[in-house]
Amino acid sequence: MSLATTQSIAEIRARNKELIEEVLKVYPEKTAKRRAKHLNVHQAGKSDCGVKSNVKSIPGVMTIRGCAYAGSKGVVWGPIKDMVHISHGPVGCGQYSWGSRRNYYVGTTGVDSFVTLQFTSDFQEKDIVFGGDKKLAKILDEIQELFPLNNGITIQSECPIGLIGDDIEAVSRAKSKEYGGKTIVPVRCEGFRGVSQSLGHHIANDAVRDWIFDQPESDSKPRFEPTPYDVAIIGDYNIGGDAWSSRILLEEMGLRVIAQWSGDGSLAELEATPKAKLNILHCYRSMNYISRHMEEKFGIPWCEYNFFGPSKIAESLRKIAGYFDDKIKEGAERVIEKYQPLVNAVVAKYRPRLEGKTVMLYVGGLRPRHVIGAYEDLGMEVIGTGYEFGHNDDYQRTAQHYVKDGTLIYDDVNGYEFERFVEKLQPDLVGSGIKEKYVFQKMGVPFRQMHSWDYSGPYHGYDGFAIFARDMDMAINSPVWKKTKAPWKEASRTKLLAAE
Amino acid sequence: MAQSAEHVLDHLELFRGPEYQQMLAKKKIFENPRDPAEVERIKEWTKTSEYREKNFAREALAVNPAKACQPLGAVFASVGFEGTLPFVHGSQGCVAYYRSHLSRHFKEPSSCVSSSMTEDAAVFGGLNNMIDGLANSYNMYKPKMIAVSTTCMAEVIGDDLNAFIKTSKEKGSVPADFDVPFAHTPAFVGSHVTGYDNALKGILEHFWDGKAGTAPKLQRKQNGAINIIGGFDGYTVGNLREIKRILALMDIQYTILADNSEVFDTPTDGEFRMYDGGTTLEDAANAVHAKATISMQQWCTEKTLPFVAEHGQDVVSFNYPVGLSATDDFILALSRISGKEIPEQLARERGRLVDAIADSSAHIHGKKFAIYGDPDLCYGLAAFLLELGAEPTHVLSTNGNKAWHEKMQMLLASSPFGQGCQAYPGRDLWHMRSLLFTEPVDFLIGNTYGKYLERDTGTPLIRIGFPVFDRHHHHRSPLWGYQGGLNVLVKILDKIFDEIDKKTNVLGKTDYSFDIIR
C-alpha cells in the first residue's frame, strides 16, 4: 500500500508542497518561476486547480506535448473514414501518426475507407523552394483517379506549408469546383501554431464549420427522416471501439445516434449533425468549439457526459435523458438497471484486488478528470493528475467535480518532474502515454497507457468498464512487479514496498 | 449482453456479437455508404494490371511510404553516445513523434528534447529557444553531451545552428567547453537514414575537427583499432552485441560509433536509466586514430564515410550483411584490416549456418519473395535469399536512390535466382500492393505495415524491418554474423512451415499432407 493512504490530508498537502519546491530547484531561475505556476496542490472548495495552463512549453525541458497537426490530423480529422486525409508536407508527420491511435472503423480500407492509410505529399527540397501548390493539385487528381470512392479530401498542413506561403485554400476551391462541388477541406494546422495539440483541435473544428457546414449541400447528404430522439456523439474517437460501447447504451435508452464525431464517422454524419436534437459531448477539450457553434447557429443544445465507470455512466445517462421526455428517462433507468448485475459482478471481482490502490495520471483531453470516477468505483484513489494541453475550463471542471483535497496537480508536466513526483509518491499505478510507459515500468511501477488503452479497450460504457477493471487489475497485480530486484540484491528503493 | 465479469471480452471479441453487429448495421444508413456492388467492383479493379499502370504513373502522391524523416535518424544516432541528450531544434510535436516511434518499436524509453518553437520563433528565429533550451536541458538532465538536430520548421526559416550554439554558450546556457555537436537534418531531404548520416558526421566532425573552432583539430596518429558504424537499424541491440562478440573473438581493438545497443535495452530493476552505455566521448574523439572504419550500411553513411576517409583512414562499407557470403566478406575484411587470424570458433559458427541451410534449403529453394525496407536492409536480405536459392522477385525501397537501384540490379543479375527479379527505388507500399496482385509471390518481407499488404493480398508477411510495433523483442536477436543469418533463416522457415500447415489442415480434405515431420 502506498504512503499516501496512511497520512492525513494536512500531511499530504505539506508533503506535496514540499515536493513541488524540491522539483523546482533543478531549474534555472527563470524557468523555475515559470514552472512554479503550473504545479499545485488542490485545495477543496476552490473553483479551479490553481495552475496556469495552455501557455507555451519551455524549451529543452522534455515536454510530453505534441502539435497542432497532431490535434487536427491525429485527433479530429483522421478518424473520418470515408475521406482521404493528406499529410501535406514532409513524410515524417504522417508516418509517425500512421495507424497508431486505434480509431476503429468498419469499411473496406483503400476502397471506401482510408483511416489506416498514410497519404502524404512527401515534400522534397524543390517543393519548399518553388512551393507545393502545383504538387497538391496533382495529388488531388491522383487521389480522384486511384481512390474514386472517397467522399472527400482534407489537407492537413505540416509546418512548412504556412512558412512558404502556399495557398492551399485556392487549390482546394479550384479542385472542388473541377470535381463538381466535391468536399475538399484545407486545414491550417501547421505544427508550430499554438502551444500544443489544442489549437489543432480548434482549427480542425473551425475547418468543419467553414468547409462543411457552410458549403452547399453535397450529394452524400443522408436521406433519413428526423425523429425527436436524434442525438450526435461529439468527441469520441472510437479508440478500441469506445464510441460503439457508448452508442449501444444511447440506443438502448431509446435515442437515435445520427452521427459520430469522429471515430468511425463519415462525411455524411458530419453534414447531418445540424439535424440533431442534442449534441452530447465527451471530449470537451477537442470539440467544444463546434458544439458551441452548432448551439449558436442551429440552436442545438449540448451536454457533457462521462462514460467511464458505472457511477459516472448512470449520472450521465440521467443527465442526457433530462433533455428528453419520460420515454427516454424511463429508458435511461432501464439501461442502468439492465447493466447493474454486470457492474456488481465486476466490482465484486476486482474491487477487493484494487481497494486502496493509488493512481497518478497524466493524459490529454478529458481523461485526467473523466477516468477518476472509474478508478473510484473500484476503490482506487487518484493522488495526482494533470493535463497535457488542458485549458483553465478543464481545471475548473476537475476542481469542481473530480479531484480530492490535497491532490497533486501538474500542468504540461515534463519528464523530469513526472519522474520525481512518481518516485516520491510511489503510486500503485501510473496512467499516461507511450513515452512515459517504459520509464515507469523500469522503475518498477505498474503502468497503463491511457491514450491508447494500451492496445486494449473499449473503456467507455458498461462493457468498457469490465475491460478497464480487468486491465487495471492485471497491471497492478502482475507477479512481475515482485521480481524486479535480483534476490541477491537489496529491495528496490522505488517500488518494492508497495508491491509486497 | 455478451459482457461478463467472469470472461471479460475486449475489442477482439466484444463487437462480434449480434447486439453490436445489429447496431453497426443500423449505423450504415447515416453513413450514406457506397453501393456494396460498386465497392466490390472497385476493390477488384485495384487488383488489375490496368490499376497498376495508373498507380505506377503517380507523380506527386505517396501512399504508405516506407520511410521516415531525417531527425528520427539523428535522434537514433545521438543516443548512441555516452550520456548524450538529443536536442531537436524546431517544433515540439516532432519530438513527441520520434520518441513515440522509437518506444513503440523497442518497447523502451526514448529520451529527447525539443526547443519548442512556435509562431513567434517562426517570425524572429529560434535563437532564444536555443539559448533557454540548452540551459534547461543541461540543468535538468545532466547530460555529458547535447547533440542538436533540426526539424523542417527550423530549416525552412533558415536557423543557423553553429551561430546559435555559439551564442548560447556566450550567454552561459552551457559551459564553453561542453560538447554540443550539431547537424542540419531537413525532413524534406532524404529520409531517416540521411539523418543518421548527418548526425553522426556532425558528432565526428565536432570531436575531430576542432569543436566548431573552439579547440585544435586532432592530429591523427594511426593505431590498430577499427571503427564500426551500424547505421539506422531496428535490430541495433542484437546486431551491435553480436558484432562486439565477433570482434572480441578475433581479438580486435575496436570502437563502435553510435553504440545505442544498451540504451535501447535497459533492465527493469527499479531504476530508470535515461542514459546507458554508448560510445564514450573519449572514444569518439580517439576514433580518428583508428586504422579503418567499417560501415555496416553504405546508404546510412554516404557523407560520414567520405569524411572519415578524408582523415586518412581506410573505409569499407557493407549493405546490411546477412547470411553466408556477406558475413564471410565482413569477417575477411576484419581479418585483412586488423591482420588478425580468424578463430576456429567462427569457422564452426559458419559451418553451423551452412549446416542449417543444407538441412532446410529444399523448403526455400525457388520460393518467390517480395522485400521492402531501407536500402541496405533490402540489399542484405535479397543477397541472402539468392544464396538460399530463393527469388527476391520485388525489392522495393522508398528511400532507395538511383545508385541503390543500379547496385540492386547488378546483384540480381549476378545470380540465376535473380533473373526476372526487379528493384524499385522511390516507390511506396501502395505500389507494392499492385505488384503483389499482378505478380504474386510466396512471401513478403517487411515491417509492421506489411500486415496491411498481407491482409489485402494474402501474401504471408515475415516481419523483418523497422518499425516492428506488433511483435515483441525481436530487436534483441541479431541478424548479423553467422548466428544472425541463422535467426533470419529460422524466421523465414517458421513462416513457410506455418503456411504449409495452414494449407493442409482441413480435416478430411487436405490433411493427408498435414505431416508431423517436415
Q: What ipTM does the predicted assembly reach? A: 0.97
Residues of A in contact with B97 (CB under 8 A): 66, 70, 92-93, 96-97
**Residue A445: band (very low, low, confident or very high) from pLDDT cuts 50, 70, 90:** very high
Contact with chain A for residue B171, Cβ under 8 A? no
**Between A and B, how many residue pairs show a Cβ–Cβ distance under 8 A?**
364
Residues of B in contact with A345 (CB under 8 A): 4-6
Contact with chain B for residue A130, Cβ under 8 A? no
Cell representation of residue B423 = 528493384
Burial readout B217-246 (b: 16 or more C-beta within 10 A, e: otherwise): ebeeeeeebbbbbbbbbbbbbbbbbbbeeb
Active-site positions of A read 67, 70, 101, 201
Contacts of A173 (CB under 8 A, 6+ apart): A184
Q: Is the pLDDT of residue B88 over 70?
A: yes
For A406, counting Cβ atoms within 10 Å of its Cβ (0-12 exposed, 13-18 middle, 19+ buried), the class is buried
Going by C-alpha positions, the residue among B57, B442, B458 that lies closest to residue B450 is B458
User: ∠A365-A371-A372 over CA atoms, to 5°?
Assistant: 120
In degrees and rounded to multiples of 5, residue A88 shows phi and psi of: -95, 110
Q: Which residue of A has its CA nearest to B134?
A: A60
Cell representation of residue A288 = 467544444
Contact with chain A for residue B172, Cβ under 8 A? no
Tell me whether residues A159 and B133 touch, CB distance under 8 A.
no
Q: Is the pLDDT of residue A218 over 90?
A: no
Going by C-alpha positions, the residue among A95, A55, A54 that lies closest to residue A73 is A95
Query: Do residues B483 and B349 touch, judged by C-beta distance below 8 A?
Result: yes
Tell me whether residues B156 and A164 touch, CB distance under 8 A.
yes
Cell representation of residue B70 = 531525417
Residues of A in contact with B111 (CB under 8 A): 62, 415
Query: Do residues B478 and B242 touch, judged by C-beta distance below 8 A?
Result: yes
Output the CA torsion B331→B333→B335→B337 (10° steps): -150
Alpha-carbon distances of B75 from B51, B105, B156, B261, B392, rounded to whole Å: 39, 14, 20, 14, 32
> pLDDT tens-digit profile of B157-196?
999 999 999 999 999 999 999 999 999 999 999 999 999 9
Query: Do residues A444 and A493 touch, judged by C-beta distance below 8 A?
Result: no
Q: Is the pLDDT of residue A195 over 80?
A: yes
Residue B463: predicted pLDDT? 98
How far is residue A9's CA from residue A388's CA, in Å, rounded to a whole number? 26
> pLDDT tens-digit profile of A134-193?
999 999 999 999 999 999 999 999 999 999 999 999 999 999 999 999 999 999 999 999
Question: One-letter amino acid identity for B107?
Answer: K
Going by C-alpha positions, the residue among B259, B239, B242, B258 that lies closest to residue B304 is B258
Going by C-alpha positions, the residue among B244, B377, B229 that lies closest to residue B313 is B229
- In this structure, how many other beta carbons lie within 10 angstroms of the beta carbon of residue B472? 9
How far is residue A198's CA from residue A195's CA, in Å, rounded to a whole number? 7
Cell representation of residue A309 = 465507470
Question: One-letter amino acid identity for A497?
Answer: L
- In this structure, how many other beta carbons lie within 10 angstroms of the beta carbon of residue A102? 21
Continuous segment of H or E residues that includes residue B364: helix B344-364
Tell me whether residues A259 and B11 touch, CB distance under 8 A.
no
How far is residue B194's CA from residue B184's CA, in Å, rounded to a whole number? 11
Residue of A58, A438, A458 lying closest to B116 (CB–CB): A58
Paired strand residues for A155: A86, A186
Residue A217: predicted pLDDT? 64
What's this model's pTM, rounded to 2 decimal places? 0.97
Residue A495: predicted pLDDT? 52
How far is residue A344's CA from residue B67's CA, in Å, rounded to a whole number? 49
Q: Is the pLDDT of residue A6 over 80?
A: no
Residues of A in contact with B133 (CB under 8 A): 59-60
Tell me whether residues A124 and B189 touch, CB distance under 8 A.
yes
Q: Is the pLDDT of residue A211 over 50?
A: yes
Q: In the predicted model, what is the mean pLDDT of chain B? A: 98
Tell me whether residues B118 and A56 touch, CB distance under 8 A.
yes
Going by C-alpha positions, the residue among B375, B428, B477 that lies closest to residue B59 is B428
Q: Which residue of B has its CA nearest to A112?
A: B39
Residue A361 DSSP class: E
Going by C-alpha positions, the residue among A125, A124, A130, A186 that lies closest to residue A154 is A186
Chain-centroid distance, C-alpha A182: 30
Contact with chain A for residue B142, Cβ under 8 A? no
Section A312-327 average pLDDT: 98
Share of chain A above pLDDT 90, in %: 94
Chosen from B76, B97, B159 to mutate, greatest number of chain A CBs within 10 A: B97
Q: Is the pLDDT of residue B74 over 70?
A: yes
Give the three-class secondary structure for A400. Answer: helix
Q: Which residue of A has its CA nearest to B138?
A: A60
Burial readout A330-342 (b: 16 or more C-beta within 10 A, e: otherwise): ebbeebbeebeeb
* Residue B420 backbone zone (phi > 0: left; psi -120 to 50: alpha; other: beta): left
Query: Do residues B70 and B194 touch, judged by C-beta distance below 8 A?
Result: yes
Residue A499: predicted pLDDT? 47
Cell representation of residue B219 = 592530429
Alpha-carbon distances of B273 from A369, A488, B65, B88, B115, rounded to whole Å: 30, 21, 34, 21, 23
Contact with chain B for residue A125, Cβ under 8 A? yes
Contacts of A8 (CB under 8 A, 6+ apart): none
Q: Is the pLDDT of residue B500 over 70?
A: yes
**Residue A295: band (very low, low, confident or very high) from pLDDT cuts 50, 70, 90:** very high
Residue A215: predicted pLDDT? 84
Residue B515: predicted pLDDT? 97
Nearest CA-CA distance, residue A466 and chain B, Å: 6
Section A286-309 average pLDDT: 98
Q: Is the pLDDT of residue B132 over 80?
A: yes
> pLDDT tens-digit profile of A24-63?
999 999 999 999 999 999 999 999 999 999 999 999 999 9
Task: Tell me the residue length of chain B.
Answer: 518
Give the three-class secondary structure for A235. Answer: strand
Chosen from B47, B55, B91, B276 to mutate, greatest number of chain A CBs within 10 A: B91
Question: One-letter amino acid identity for A366?
Answer: L
Give the three-class secondary structure for A188. Answer: coil
Residues of B in contact with A99 (CB under 8 A): 449
How far is residue B269's CA from residue A214's CA, in Å, rounded to a whole number? 57
Q: Is the pLDDT of residue A500 over 50?
A: no
Section A104-108 average pLDDT: 98
Alpha-carbon distances of A260 from A150, A220, B27, rounded to whole Å: 18, 16, 10
SS3 content of chain A, % helix, strand, coil (to 5): 50, 15, 40
Residue B1: predicted pLDDT? 83
How far is residue B87's CA from residue B93's CA, in Å, rounded to a whole number? 13
Give the three-class secondary structure for A257. Answer: strand
Least confident among A1-10, A321-330, A370-379, B118-127: A1-10
Residue B147 DSSP class: E
**Residue A406: band (very low, low, confident or very high) from pLDDT cuts 50, 70, 90:** very high
**Residue A219: band (very low, low, confident or very high) from pLDDT cuts 50, 70, 90:** low
Question: One-letter amino acid identity for A114?
Answer: F
Nearest CA-CA distance, residue A326 and chain B, Å: 23
Contacts of B307 (CB under 8 A, 6+ apart): B201, B204, B205
How far is residue B22's CA from residue B16's CA, in Å, rounded to a whole number? 10
Cell representation of residue B301 = 553513411
How far is residue B471's CA from residue B449's CA, in Å, rounded to a whole number? 12
Residues of A in contact with B431 (CB under 8 A): none
Tell me whether residues B43 and A108 touch, CB distance under 8 A.
yes
Residues of B in contact with A27 (CB under 8 A): 136, 139-140
Query: Do residues A91 and A120 touch, judged by C-beta distance below 8 A?
Result: yes
How far is residue A355's CA from residue B65's CA, in Å, rounded to a whole number? 48
Share of chain B above pLDDT 70, in %: 100
